[in-house]
Amino acid sequence: MSACKGQDFETKTGKPFTYDIVGDVFHPSRTDYNISKADFRKALALVPFDGPGEINTIVRGPAYVWAVLHDKRIRRSDW
C-alpha cells in the first residue's frame, strides 16, 4: 500500500482520492479522519466483498478501505 500513496484512486461511486500513510495510519485526501492499519487488517480478512456497505460497521472509512483493497495495484491476483 505504501508504494501507491499519492496515486489516484476512486471509491466504488467514483469519487477520486489520494492517500498518505504515516506510521500505521492511512490519511485519505477527501476527509479529515484517519484509518488505522488495524481496520485494513479486519477488512482484508473478508476480501473479496461486493462493496463498502459490507464493512460499514467493521471499519472506519469503509469506502476508502474497499477502494484500496480492491484496486488492481493493491489486490492479490488470487482474490
58 vs 40: CA distance, rounded Å: 10
pLDDT of residue 78: 47
pLDDT of residue 26: 97
65 vs 26: CA distance, rounded Å: 9
In tens, the pLDDT along 44-56 reads 999 999 999 999 9
pLDDT of residue 79: 45
In Å, what is the CA distance from 5 to each residue of 46, 54, 57? 23, 24, 25
Ranges of residues in the chain with a pLDDT under 50 are 78-79
